[in-house]
């Protein structure tokens, strides 16, 4: 059963409890081992937003800081936030190593601790899409961005590799009642629904990120040990179901793998979205 098969629209989710579990999941592995491989997506997003030196940038659900570092490299004034302290600490070490000064602050994407109209730009790559209260998160991104400012986000699509991985996991671990798939952030319909009223322009570009690993087993080892959702799924399953999930993921990877030398080059579609707010 996929994450999108059954939706109880009358259920009000316990967002606090869900976020506590998510926080534990993302803090339990070492997301940076996956996150650092995605650096190119942060660089591309900053280029698509045409960031300028001196502009203020808020990175929401920043993880280990890919967009944070990309914006800092363009000499923006960056504030980086996440609700997992260990990820912020990893990002801080990266920024110090490169000689940048970044303001780090633990924060909930659904309740950002900033005044209205605080930042020229608000960004997130593969971060805010995992918040359970999607409409509230979208509203917060708009609220803290200045009129005429830009919101830049990158989100996995439902039909891409990671979107299909979510569906595969959902067949073994049921999502919380009332919570919609994170991959909806990677659709035109969701973006129009949640941003069109505030936006003067919504620009979507469908891109691909290539996961490059030594082998399918290497990919499974990294994601199974360090990527929170996969790690927690394996921890929750007994041996037989764990083996079945591992087999399903292996088949998924094999079906998209374009490498012919025994390694993995697995393209995954994502939406890069730049939203310009009304002045």
Q: What pLDDT is recorded for position 222?
A: 95
Check pLDDT > 60 for residue 10: no
Split at pLDDT 50, 70, 90, the class of 7 is very low
What is the C-alpha separation between 84 and 65, in angstroms, rounded? 12
pLDDT at 150 over 90: yes
| Domain residue extents for the chain | 15-212+269-277
pLDDT the model gives residue 11? 66
Q: What is the pLDDT, as a whole number, of residue 9?
A: 43
Confidence at residue 175, expressed as pLDDT on a 0 to 100 scale = 83
DSSP secondary structure string for all residues of 116-137: TT-EEEEEEESSGGG-S-HHHH
Tokens of 258: 């374009």
Side by side, the strands of the sheet bearing 145-156 are 103-106, 77-82, 56-59, 119-125, 145-156, 264-277, 199-213
* Span 40-53, pLDDT tens digits: 999 999 999 999 99
CB 226 within 8 A of CB 29: yes
Instruction: Decide: 256 and 266 in contact? Cβ < 8 Å.
Output: yes
Q: Average of pLDDT values for 196-214?
A: 98
Taking only the tens place, the pLDDT of each residue in 256-274 is 999 999 999 999 999 999 9
Helix (H) or strand (E) holding 256: helix 239-256
d(C-alpha 141, C-alpha 131), whole Å? 12
**What is the residue-averaged pLDDT of the chain?**
93
Q: Do residues 199 and 275 touch, judged by C-beta distance below 8 A?
A: yes
Q: What is the pLDDT of residue 262?
A: 95
Is residue 119 over pLDDT 90? yes
Which CATH number is associated with domain 15-212+269-277?
3.40.50.150
Residue 245 has pLDDT above 90, yes or no: yes
Position 5 scores a pLDDT of 38
Question: Does the pLDDT of residue 4 top 50, yes or no?
Answer: no
């Amino acid at each position: 059963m996929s994450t999108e098969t059954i939706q109880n629209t009358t259920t009000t989710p316990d967002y606090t409890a869900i976020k506590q579990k998510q926080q534990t999941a993302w803090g339990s592995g070492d997301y940076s081992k996956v996150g650092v491989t995605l650096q190119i997506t942060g660089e591309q997003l900053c280029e698509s937003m045409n960031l300028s030196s001196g502009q203020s940038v808020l990175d929401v659900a920043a993880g280990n800081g890919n967009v944070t570092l990309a914006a800092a490299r363009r000499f923006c004034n960056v504030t980086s936030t996440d609700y997992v302290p260990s990820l912020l600490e990893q990002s801080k070490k990266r920024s110090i190593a490169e000689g940048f000064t970044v303001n780090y602050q633990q924060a909930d994407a659904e309740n950002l601790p900033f005044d209205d109209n605080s930042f020229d730009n608000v960004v997130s790559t593969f971060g805010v899409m995992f918040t359970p209260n999607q409409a509230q998160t979208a509203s917060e991104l708009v609220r803290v961005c200045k009129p005429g400012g830009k919101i830049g986000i990158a989100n996995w699509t439902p039909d891409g590799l990671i979107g299909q991985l979510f569906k595969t996991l959902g067949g073994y671990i049921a999502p919380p009642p009332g919570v919609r798939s994170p991959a909806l952030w990677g659709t035109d319909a969701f973006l129009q629904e949640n941003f069109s009223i505030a936006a003067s322009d919504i620009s979507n570009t469908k891109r691909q990120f290539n996961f490059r690993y030594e082998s399918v087993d290497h990919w499974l080892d990294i994601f199974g040990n360090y990527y929170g959702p996969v790690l927690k799924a394996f921890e929750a399953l007994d041996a037989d179901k764990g083996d079945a999930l591992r087999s399903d993921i292996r088949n998924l990877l094999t079906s998209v793998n374009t490498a012919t030398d025994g390694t993995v080059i697995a393209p995954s579609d994502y939406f890069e979205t730049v939203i310009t707010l009304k002045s």
